[in-house]
Amino acid sequence: MKKRLPPLNWLRSFEASARHLNFTQAAAELSLTQAAISQQVKGLECQLGVNLFKRLPRGLELTEAGQAYMPVIHESIERLIAATDELFGMGRVRRLIIRVNLVFFTTWLAPRLARFRARHPEISLQFTSNIWRDEQGKEADMEIRYGKGNWPGLKSIRLSRDELFPVCSPTLLDGLSPPDSPEALTEHTLLHVIGYEEGWGYWLKQTGFQHLDASQGMQFDTLITAMEMAALGHGLALGRTSLVAEMLASGRLVAPFEQRINSSESFYLTCPTHQYMHPNAEAFWAWLIEEAEAENDHLHPASGA
């Protein structure tokens, strides 16, 4: 018997409403009225014979049926969009959009990009910093973010396995030499980065120097700023292995202490769990993981038998 497929506009209204959990926001996205969205979702529910949403006083909540249906509909719509753009895009080049942590891009990704471009010269790339929201509302194909990898609704792959340790200029400003023991940190400026759980207080506690005052110094909202200030001799910053390797190799930074601790926070490659991944995105995703594995093998070689 021939199966009756619900109208596409009903499915689009359901998918947008499920993402926003709000009929009004879904209506704004699809350039429809809130009443039209509500009516189309109701029509879909009547045809399917189940409720997809719980109507609450302050919004919507997906029922079990809605939660099961949403990933299938979302992926189908994304595939339709991608296929339509590829087949009928009037020759336009699809740009791959990557939202990325600024310090990771500057110190880790940018020096490696030539290898990807040599392998895939046909892929057009666009990078945007994740300290800003996307002003045009376009979803990125993927994002590189810092944390512990547990973001609801996101698939994440760990890119870095870092140790945390102080770094500074070989010669600090005012003719001071780098300290030879953490006990001397009180005589130097500490460079703090807002938003990192594993800051100076954490490092001092983990290495047994919690009696030292970790509150003094300067604060910054990005790690790249703190690292540059450290390289210029303004104080000591906490470096992460994957980010300071090149600056240590070039001599711009030195690591004056032996004490290092493993960082539980890392850089992760992420994308929405049920997002359709364009072949260009798949190529960049696979290349980035390949580069990260090679870097981790170099920085943390397996011990011999």
Q: Do 27 and 109 sit in the same domain of this protein?
A: no
- Residues 125, 98 contacting (CB under 8 angstroms): yes
Find the CATH number of the domain harbouring 59. Answer: 1.10.10.10
Task: Identify whether residues 12 and 53 lie together within a single domain.
Answer: yes
In a domain, 201, yes or no: yes
Q: What is the CATH number of the domain that holds 201?
A: 3.40.190.10
Residue 149: CB atoms within 10 A of its CB come to 18
Q: Whole-model pTM?
A: 0.64
User: Could you tell me if 155 and 276 lie in one domain?
Assistant: yes
The amino acid sitting at 125 is L
Residue 255 and residue 117 share a domain: no
Residue 283: which domain range?
95-161+266-299
Question: Is 304 within a domain?
Answer: no
Amino acid at site 26:
A
Same domain, 271 and 136: yes
178 and 227 housed in the same domain:
yes
Picking from 72, 88, 104, the residue at the C-terminal end of a domain is 88
Instruction: Mark which of 25, 53, 88 sits at the end of a domain.
Output: 88
| 177/200 same-domain check | yes
157 and 170 both lie in a single domain: no
Let me know whether 157 and 169 are in one domain.
Answer: no
Do residue 154 and residue 277 come from a single domain?
yes
Query: How many domains is the chain partitioned into structurally?
Result: 3
**Is residue 2 in some structural domain?**
no
Give the residues across from 187 on adjacent strands: none
In SS3 terms, the chain reads as: CCCCCCCHHHHHHHHHHHHHCCHHHHHHHHCCCHHHHHHHHHHHHHHHCCCCEEEECCEEEECHHHHHHHHHHHHHHHHHHHHHHHHHCCCCCCEEEEEECHHHHHHHHHHHHHHHHHHCCCCEEEEEECCCCCCCCCCCCEEEEEECCCCCCEEEEECCCCEEEEEECCCCHHHCCCCCCHHHHHHCCEEEECCCCCCHHHHHHHCCCCCCCCCCCEEECCHHHHHHHHHCCCCEEEEEHHHHHHHHHHCCCECCCCCCEECCCEEEEEEECCCCCCHHHHHHHHHHHHHHHHHHHHHCCCCCC
In whole angstroms, how large is the CA radius of gyration of the chain? Answer: 25
Instruction: Round to whole Å and give the CA distance between 159 and 182.
Output: 29
Residues 295 and 156 in one domain: yes
Same domain, 142 and 276: yes
How far is 250 from 8, CA to CA, in rounded Å? 57
pLDDT 10s digit of each residue in the chain, 305 long?
A: 456 789 999 999 999 999 999 999 999 999 999 999 999 999 999 999 999 999 998 889 999 999 999 999 999 998 888 777 766 665 556 788 999 988 899 989 999 999 999 999 989 999 988 664 444 445 788 999 988 888 888 899 999 888 999 999 988 766 677 788 898 888 889 999 987 888 999 999 999 998 988 888 999 988 889 999 999 999 999 999 888 888 998 999 999 999 999 988 889 999 988 777 888 899 999 999 999 998 877 766 654 43
Q: What is the pLDDT of residue 302?
A: 59
> Does residue 230 lie in a domain region?
yes
Tokens of 47: 């045809």
How many CB atoms are closer than 10 A to CB 21?
15
Distance of CA 287 to CAs 45, 179, 269, 292, Å?
42, 40, 12, 9
Asked if residue 125 belongs to a domain, the reply is yes
Distance CA 266, CA 158 (A): 7
Residue 204 φ then ψ, to 5°: -65, -40
Contacts (Cβ under 8 Å, ≥6 apart) of 1:
none
